[in-house]
Amino acid sequence: MTSPHLRARPVDLIPAVLCSTFVAFFLVQILTFDYGRDQGIYAVVARSIVDGGMPYRDAWDFKPPGIFVLYAIARVLFGANEWGIRLLECIFIAAMGICLVRWARAVFAPKLSGYFAIALAVLIHAQLDFWHTAQPESFGGALTIFGLCTAPLFPTADGRSPTRPLLRWFLAGVFFGMAGLLKPQLAFGGGLLVLLPCAARLLRNVPFLQAFAMPKDGPGEWRALFAACLGTVAPVALCVLWFAAKGALKDAYEVLFVFTPHYTKLSWEGQNPLVLAYHGVVDWFTGYSALVPLGVSLLLLFAHRLSSRERGAALAISLLISLHLAGVVAQAKFFSYHYGATWPLTGLLVGLGFALLWDQAVKASRLWIAAFVVGIPLICCARSAIRGVPLSFYQRTMFRTQALLSGGLPTEVRDVLATVDDVNASANRQVAQFLRDAGGTRPVFIWGFEPVIYEWANRPASTRYIYNVPQRAAWLQQTMRERLMADLTANPPEFIVIERRDALPSVTGNYVDSSGAIKDFPELRELIERRYKPAFSHEDFMVLKEVPAP
């Protein structure tokens, strides 16, 4: 049965306004998020870019280059502060929300699908809190939605091809290509979408695939595929040219195609691919929000009410989600932020399910409307995406809200909210304050995994290795240690900060912390013993100061 497109109803303002208010509230919450460990890394690399340096060559990390560029843009636009990247993140989310609402209104008969979609996406995003947001996936998810909304997937209402379809496929490819510079698997979204019109031509007996069939006045499937692929390649090619022009292409290749595969391989040792795939799918479906399995179940329950166009759209969204989940499983670490790009797409499916339920409630009675408005928020409480941080999501939200209403977040509250596992924001800030108070402009060296100290202390690093994972990891260790010592010899640090209790087996492949790693690094140990003495100690940090030459 084909669903008629519903006319605007005054009662629809209730969920639309509630969802919009909900999104606005949590965007303000996101603005208060501080840096986690990863955000500190990205900020320090971005600082190097703004100062004329290059990722990998002048500031070392193993993430794709897109995230560093975004942090550099935030730094140029909003200054060297922690809220700058959060503001850029909120701008991306707000633009994504507008796209979701408009695209859903154009494709789905239940006009509220987009509102429910962005509400779910922002809820999970906010619940991920400071560590798992402002990540590559956070921006990659928005770019994926921009690509989906730009692609001319469907003919117009009169059966004609949309205006300038080749240009739109090219631009969609550009968005997916930019997403690929944040997370490689996201780059394939444009090509995947073009395969749907190809499938419509080959499988003419599948009704909902015919929703993608290109009209006779269209450009043709192969030309559309070429345009999408060309668009995808364009930002990647520009990035390669940038690195080549700066003489950093070799460094990028070594990090992304030599070091990073060994890092990924760690999680696959002794693992069953089917078990990993099962874990990835179940974690996405049930691990972050009770609304996801409920919304998808509602979509399946009301599937008979969907038109061929709506079923085709649901298929396109599902294929993109599958592509994202394949990338998560390939990494096999299942960090919360690895799913970050998937929630806006998931929101479209879930939002369609809840929009169909809302239509049923409106047709039933005011009591059902009230039950919907009250029941959905209660279901939200059944499962939270927040993991590993002190206090519950509700408590953390109340702390932030109360602090904002009273004029801002005190440093002590911010540090509590930004502390998790072995990362102590207060300790990092104390060490940074000591280095800042010491004065001078000479570089410092942090032998640990807290490069945010460079940022907070406003001191340059004496080496490209802004944290010591390359020297602690089992692969390429000797080469990375030799390069580190060459950097320290050429640019001696005034202070060396040594960290303890920062063992990261999922990253380094062993349980040795930074302090322990010095024991089997004789060159660094000899340099420290010969030229440095203790100057300050706090929590897990020991700060050593260079001894003046006799």
User: Token match 């349980």: residue?
Assistant: 511
- For residue 491, what pLDDT is reported? 96
pLDDT-derived band at 7, boundaries 50, 70, 90: low
Q: Residue 545 forms beta bridges with which residues?
A: 495, 533
Is residue 523 predicted with pLDDT exceeding 80? Answer: yes
- For residue 362, what pLDDT is reported? 94
The residues, any chain, with a CB within 8 Å of residue 469's CB and separated by 6 or more, are: 449, 504, 507, 508
The residue count for the chain? 550
Are 259 and 171 found together in one domain? yes
Tell me the pLDDT tens digit for each residue of 204-217. 878 778 888 888 87
Paired tokens of 490: 């050429």
Instruction: Please check whether residue 372 lies inside any domain of the structure.
Output: yes
Q: What is d(CA 392, CA 395) in angstroms, rounded to the nearest whole number?
A: 5
| DSSP summary character for residue 450 | -
Is residue 347 predicted with pLDDT exceeding 70? Answer: yes
Instruction: Please check whether residue 386 lies inside any domain of the structure.
Output: no
Q: Is 478 exposed, middle or buried (0-12, 13-18, 19+ CB in 10 A)?
A: exposed
Query: Final residue of a domain: which of 326, 353, 380?
Result: 380
Is residue 5 predicted with pLDDT exceeding 50? Answer: no
Residue 519 CB: number of other CB atoms within 10 A?
Answer: 9
Is residue 67 predicted with pLDDT exceeding 60? Answer: yes
Are 184 and 283 found together in one domain? yes
- Predicted TM-score of the model (pTM): 0.94
Are 374 and 433 found together in one domain? no
Count of alpha carbons within 13 Å of 429, Cβ hemisphere only? 14
Q: Is 91 exposed, middle or buried (0-12, 13-18, 19+ CB in 10 A)?
A: middle
Contact 181, 136 (CB under 8 A): no
- For residue 8, what pLDDT is reported? 65
- For residue 61, what pLDDT is reported? 96
Domain residues for the domain of 244 are 13-380
Paired tokens of 208: 């909902």
Q: What is d(CA 193, CA 199) in angstroms, rounded to the nearest whole number?
A: 10
Instruction: Please check whether residue 288 lies inside any domain of the structure.
Output: yes
In terms of pLDDT, which residue wins out, 85 or 399?
Answer: 85
Are 242 and 343 found together in one domain? yes
Instruction: Please check whether residue 404 lies inside any domain of the structure.
Output: no
Are 270 and 211 found together in one domain? yes
Q: Is 334 exposed, middle or buried (0-12, 13-18, 19+ CB in 10 A)?
A: middle
> Measuring CA to CA, which residue among 483, 477, 532 is closest to residue 508?
477
DSSP secondary structure of 219-263: --HHHHHHHHHHHHHHHHHHHHHHHHHTT-HHHHHHIIIIIHHHH
pLDDT-derived band at 3, boundaries 50, 70, 90: very low
Average pLDDT, the chain: 93
Paired tokens of 434: 């000591």
Are 495 and 357 found together in one domain? no
| DSSP summary character for residue 384 | -
Tell me the pLDDT tens digit for each residue of 21-46. 999 999 999 999 999 999 999 999 99
Pairing of strands 541-546, 495-499: antiparallel
- Mean pLDDT lowest for which of 224-228, 282-286, 407-411? 407-411
CA angle 254, 273, 314 (to 5 degrees): 95
Domain tally, the chain: 2
Instruction: Please check whether residue 144 lies inside any domain of the structure.
Output: yes
- For residue 406, what pLDDT is reported? 85
Instruction: Please check whether residue 329 lies inside any domain of the structure.
Output: yes
Are 352 and 456 found together in one domain? no
pLDDT-derived band at 2, boundaries 50, 70, 90: very low
The residues, any chain, with a CB within 8 Å of residue 185's CB and separated by 6 or more, are: 323, 324, 326, 327, 330
Count of alpha carbons within 13 Å of 78, Cβ hemisphere only? 18
Are 114 and 245 found together in one domain? yes
Query: Final residue of a domain: which of 323, 347, 380?
Result: 380
| DSSP summary character for residue 153 | -
Are 257 and 157 found together in one domain? yes
Are 134 and 260 found together in one domain? yes
- Mean pLDDT lowest for which of 205-219, 233-247, 442-456? 205-219
Q: What is d(CA 438, CA 534) in angstroms, rounded to the nearest whole number?
A: 14
pLDDT-derived band at 262, boundaries 50, 70, 90: confident
Is residue 550 predicted with pLDDT exceeding 70? Answer: no
pLDDT-derived band at 201, boundaries 50, 70, 90: confident
DSSP secondary structure of 520-540: G-HHHHHHHHHHEEEEEEETT
Residue 448 CB: number of other CB atoms within 10 A?
Answer: 26
Average of per-residue pLDDT across 488-501: 96
Average of per-residue pLDDT across 310-315: 94
Is residue 161 predicted with pLDDT exceeding 90? Answer: no
pLDDT-derived band at 99, boundaries 50, 70, 90: very high
Are 347 and 264 found together in one domain? yes
| DSSP summary character for residue 55 | B
- Mean pLDDT lowest for which of 62-66, 278-282, 382-386? 382-386
Q: What is d(CA 104, CA 351) in angstroms, rounded to the nearest whole number?
A: 9
Collapsed DSSP state (helix, strand, coil) of residue 447:
strand
Is residue 424 predicted with pLDDT exceeding 70? Answer: yes
Q: What is d(CA 502, CA 511) in angstroms, rounded to the nearest whole number?
A: 9
Q: From residue 102, how far is each of 54, 94, 96, 114, 146 by CA, in Å?
A: 38, 13, 10, 7, 11
Instruction: Please check whether residue 400 lies inside any domain of the structure.
Output: no
Is residue 198 predicted with pLDDT exceeding 80? Answer: yes
Instruction: Please check whether residue 395 lies inside any domain of the structure.
Output: no
Query: Final residue of a domain: which of 380, 408, 440?
Result: 380
Average of per-residue pLDDT across 200-228: 85
Helix axes 83-107, 66-78, angle to 10 degrees: 110
Tell me the pLDDT tens digit for each residue of 512-521. 999 999 999 9
- For residue 6, what pLDDT is reported? 46
Are 509 and 363 found together in one domain? no
